[in-house]
């Protein structure tokens, strides 16, 4: 069978129909699917096809060698003027470093309550994080704090409408493919769970809402989420939380 015929066979409707009654799809089942079309297809070619399915958003990872059908979009952060300003400032003076900037207003679409205070999170490589902090202060960024402790968080984030927090970036944090300075939803979900003091307004029932609604509306990669939780030293806790929420 030609490549064109194979491409036609793996159209979205064919994949959905073939696996429509399965919640989870193993890599073996995907291999069997392709070998019904091309009995002599090699494993490398199948892996390439699976990669294309993931890239197109037709399937998403939920574990090692385990996938689920997904016609949900990838989450994309909406632009924020304050965030864009910070990104441009850091890019100008620290062009080579890895950093991520996002704001808690992004969470409003997942929540029941309305949060009127906004926290802008600035995560940079640990070795330059303090330098970035003082640089942004020199650039007249107000209400900015460097790795505040619990008491400082309770006081400053409680009185300021917008608070800027500079902290260290965890290596290999999940970031957007088209803009490495924005986090992926998997990173945000894990950080909300791990940094409960920083994100005190997003704990309890609202944390549950954020997680459930994120999975309901968007394609969330559980493998990415778990890998990042391991880097944060919370793999067991996050795995248990995923089970509690019946996300798999």
Interval 105-141: pLDDT, tens:
999 999 988 877 899 999 999 999 999 999 999 999 9
Give residue 238's pLDDT. Answer: 96
Is residue 223 within 8 A of residue 37, CB to CB? The reply is no
Helices 185-194 and 235-244, packing angle to 10 deg: 100
Q: Which helix (H) or strand (E) holds 81?
A: helix 81-93
3-class DSSP state for residue 159?
Answer: helix
Rounded-to-integer distance, Cα 181 and Cα 102, Å: 8
Could you tell me the strand order of the sheet in which 25-26 lies?
25-26, 66-69, 59-63
Give residue 37's pLDDT. Answer: 78
Band of the pLDDT at 4, cuts 50, 70, 90? very low
pLDDT digits (tens, 9 = 90+) for 64-81: 788 877 667 789 998 899
pTM above 0.75, yes or no: yes
Mean predicted lDDT score pLDDT of the chain: 87
Give residue 86's pLDDT. Answer: 97
Rounded-to-integer distance, Cα 129 and Cα 126, Å: 5
pLDDT digits (tens, 9 = 90+) for 178-236: 889 999 999 999 999 999 999 998 999 999 999 999 988 888 888 889 999 999 999 99
Rounded percentage of the chain residues whose pLDDT exceeds 90: 54
More confident residue, 21 or 78: 78
Burial (CB count <10 Å: 0-12, 13-18, 19+), residue 203: middle
153-157: long-range contacts (C-beta < 8 A, 24 or more apart)?
153/197, 153/198, 153/200, 154/200, 157/117, 157/119, 157/200
């Amino acid at each position: 069978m030609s490549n064109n015929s194979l491409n036609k066979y793996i159209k979205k409707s064919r994949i959905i129909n073939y696996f429509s009654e399965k919640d989870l799809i193993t890599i073996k089942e995907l291999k069997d699917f392709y070998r019904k079309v091309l009995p002599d297809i090699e494993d490398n070619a199948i892996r390439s096809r699976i990669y294309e399915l993931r890239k197109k958003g037709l399937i998403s990872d939920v574990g090692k060698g385990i996938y689920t059908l997904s016609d949900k979009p990838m989450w994309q952060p909406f632009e924020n003027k304050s965030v864009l300003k910070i990104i441009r400032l850091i890019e100008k003076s620290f062009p080579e470093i890895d950093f991520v900037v996002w704001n808690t207003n992004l969470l409003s679409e997942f929540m029941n309550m309305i949060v009127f205070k906004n926290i802008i999170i600035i995560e940079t490589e640990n070795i330059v994080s303090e330098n970035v902090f003082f640089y942004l202060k020199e650039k007249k960024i107000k209400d900015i704090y460097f790795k505040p402790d619990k008491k400082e968080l309770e006081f400053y984030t409680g009185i300021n409408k917008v608070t800027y927090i500079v902290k260290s970036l965890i290596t290999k944090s999940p970031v957007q493919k088209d803009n490495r300075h924005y986090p992926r939803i998997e990173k945000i979900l894990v950080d909300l769970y791990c940094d409960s003091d920083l994100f005190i307004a997003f704990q309890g029932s609202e944390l549950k809402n954020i997680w459930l609604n994120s999975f309901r509306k968007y394609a969330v990669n559980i493998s990415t989420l778990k890998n990042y939780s391991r880097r944060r030293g919370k793999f067991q806790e996050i795995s248990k939380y995923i089970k509690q929420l019946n996300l798999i």
